[in-house]
Structure 1
Amino acid sequence: TLGFFSPGELNRRYVGIWFSASMDAVVWVANRDSPLNDTAGVLEIDGAGRLFLLDGSGLTVWSSNTTTGGSGTPSSAAAQLLESGNLVVVRDDDESNGAVLWQSFDHPSNTLIAGMRLGRNPQTGAEWSLRSWRSPDNPATGDCRRAMNTRGLPDCVSWRGDAKKYRTGPWNGLWFSGVPEMASYSDMFTNQVVVRPDEVAYVFNATAAAPFSRLVLSEAGVIQRLAWDGGSRVWNVFAQAPRDVCDDYAKCSAFGLCNVNTAATLFCGCVQGYVPVSPAHWSMREAAAGCRRSTPLDCRDGGATTDGFAVVSGVKLPDTDNATVDVGATLEACRARCLATCSCVAFAAADIRGGGGGSGCVIWAGDIVDVRYVDKGQDLYVRLAKSELAAANKKRGSMLKILLPVTACLLVLMCSIFLVWICKFRGRISECSIATVETGITRQSRFYGAHQTN
C-alpha cells in the first residue's frame, strides 16, 4: 500500500509504502527527513517523470531524482505501485515501451524486501544501502547503515557512524561464510550475489511457499529477518545478527579467533602459531592488542621456503578488505602463490560449490581480523614456520597415544558389562565365567603394553 502515515503520536506525516496485511510494517519512506507538519499534502508527478510532495502551501517538501538516462525528456510519465512493493515511474508514450525512469527499490530506507538490492555500481558509485530509523516512531535517517562491501570478496557490513559493527563474512557461492544458517531456509528464500562490471549486489527472492518477509536494520544496528505469521498476524524474528559477542567486529583483534563456547577464557584465542601480544591484558579479558607470530617465517629470495600451512577449520573467513582474490585459480595454485609471496599470511577457497576443498583463491597479506568459529564454517590455511608445524604434529601424536588406549579400555569395559548383562538376562549368570571376562581384560591390557612399547 502507498499512502500517508504518521508513526507514533507525533503530528508528522510521511509518504510511505507498507504491507497491506500489516500497516505498521513500513518498508519505504519518501520524505523521511522532511516530514509534513500538518494534515495537508499532495503527491504529484509531472510530465518528465518527477515525483513531488507538496505541503498545504504548495511548497515542495520532497522530490525524486528522476533521470531520463540519456533517452530524452519524456512527453508524459506515469507512476505505479507494483505487487512487489516497488513504486516505479515509467515513460507513458508509444516509443519508450514503458521504460523505467525511477523506482523506489533504488532508494531503500531501513528495509530490504524480496527483489531489492543491497550493493553498489562500481562504475558510477551509486549505492543501494539501508539506513536505520532514528527511533521506532521517527523514520529520519539514523546512525546505522547496512551496505555491501565490494572490496575483496563481497560481504554485507553493518556500520554505526564510521565504525564497523558486524560483518557477514564473504560470499562463498552458497551463503555468506559467517551466516551458514542461510542454507536452512533456502527452500523459502533464494539468496544470490550478483557480480558484474556495473553491479555488485546481494538480492533475495521468495519462493511460492514463503511467508511475507523483510530484512530490517534497527536503530541499534541489529539486522533482523522478519517473517509474517498470517494466523496470529504478527511478525516473527526468523533470524538476526549480531547473534552473540563473537559477531562483534574484530572481537579478538589481529590473528585472534573467537569461540562463543569459551566464555571462561575471554571468548578469544590466537590462531595456531600465534601468541597474545600482551598476556597481561588477556588475563584481564582485554584482547584489543591481538596476537603476534611466535616464530618468524622462512622467506627467501626466489620463493624457496620451508614454511607450510596449518588448517583452521570451521570458521568465518577474515575481512577481505585488503585481500587479493582470483576466482579462477585452483586451491593448489593458491597455496603455491602464497608460499611465493613473503607478505602472505593465509589463504582460503573463494567458492565452496562443487565439493572438495573449493575453488578460487583468497590471499591475505598483513593482519587477519574478525575470525570466529561457525557451524559449517570454511577452512582457513594459516602460514606457519616449519618448527611450528612440527611442534603441532608432535602434540597431535602425543594426544593420539593417550586417546587410543583410553578409547580401547572403554570399549573393553563396555563389552564386559554387556556380556554380564546378557548372562544375567538369560538367567545363567552362574554358568558364565567371570574369569573369562577378567582374562579378556588381562589380555587386552597386555596388548596395550605392547602398543605403547612400539
Structure 2
Amino acid sequence: MEEACAGFTRFDFCQILDATENFSEKMIVGWGGFGKVYKGQLPGGLNVAIKRADEHAAMLEVNSELQLAKLQHANVIRLLGWCIHGKERILVYDFMQNGSLDRYIYDRTKGPMLNWSKRFKIITGLTEGIVYLHKHSMFWLVHRDLKPHNVLLDCNMIPKIADFGSARALSSDIAEEHTSRVVGTSGYKAPEYASRGVYSTKTDVFSFGILVLVIISGRKNTILNKQGDTVGDLVRDTWHMWKDQRLHELVDPLLGDRYEVTEIMRCAQVALLCAQEDPANRPTMTDVAAMLNSESISLPMEPKQPAKLIHGCADRDTTSTYMGQSSRTIEVTITSSAPMSTRVRIILDPEV
C-alpha cells in the first residue's frame, strides 16, 4: 500500500482520529466498496472524505481502490493521502459537499435542483471520466460498479466517479476477463457479467447506458429475474417509447417542459445503444463521447430490441409481447402513457 501511495500525503493516525472525532457515527456519510466513509476536517479547515477499510475487506479490494492514486481527471474523485496504523488502512479524498447523485435523482424534494442543463452536464462529464478510465489512465480500467451512488457531485454539480473497490485493470481496451466473484449492483450489471462473470470495457458501457436513462427519467431499472430478464424494465420501456416516437414520456416529471427535446432524444438513443444485451453491439465510450458532443453526427445505428420482445400481437401503442426463447412463457406488457406498465404472465402447457 505504501508503494502505491508514493507521492501522496501520509497522514498520522492521530490526525485521522481528530478529523473524524474518533470515528464518530455522526460523521459517517456513506459506505464504499470496502469500508465506511466519514466526513472529516483537517486543521487548516479543509473538509475531506475519509474511507476506513473494513477489517474483513479483501486486500484485493483495497489495492483496487489504490488504482485511483494514479488517476488524475476532472471527473474522477481525487485521492489526497493515506494512513496505515496497525490493521487500519485509510484513504483520504476530496470531500464532495453535494453528496451522491442518487440523493437527488430519486428525491422528489431535491430532484428539481437538477434541471436538465445540470443533468446533461452530468451525463457528458461521466462520459469523459469513463473515456479516461478506459483509454487514458494507463490501465484500461473497468470500474464494474457504475451507479448513481458512486457518482459524487461537487459544489458546482460536476460529477466525480468514485469507489474503485471493484475496479480491475485489463491488458487492453478490447480484452475480456472472467471472474467467479461477480460484484456490482442489480439493474446496472451487464448481462454477460451478471450471468457468466465476463467483464470488459463494454461492461461499463452498459452501466453508463442505465445511468443515463435513470438521469433522464428519475426511475430505477428493475431486473425481473424470475421472468428471465437481462436488461431491466427501464430499458424495455424506453425502447418502446423510442420506437413509437414518444420519448417525452420518459422524462422525469420534475423537469416539467424545461428541457431540450433534441438532447433528450439523443441521450436516450445513445443510452439504448449502450444498454444492448450483446456487448459486441454496444459502442465504445469514445464513440459515445462523439455522439453526445456533436449534434451534426448522425447516430450510426438503431438500438436492437431488448431480448424476448416480439412485435405485432396487438396495437403497438398499447400492447407489446415478450416471449421466452427457452420456455413456453409469454409476457404481455400493457403500457399506458404513464412511465409504469402492467405485466401479465401467461404460462402455456409444455409441448408434447
The alignment's TM-score, normalised by the length of structure 2, stands at: 0.30
| Bigger proportion of residues as helix | 2
The alignment's TM-score, normalised by the length of structure 1, stands at: 0.24
| Bigger proportion of residues as strand | 1
Q: Rg bigger for which structure?
A: 1
Structure ranking higher on relative contact order (CA contacts 8 Å, 6+ apart): 2
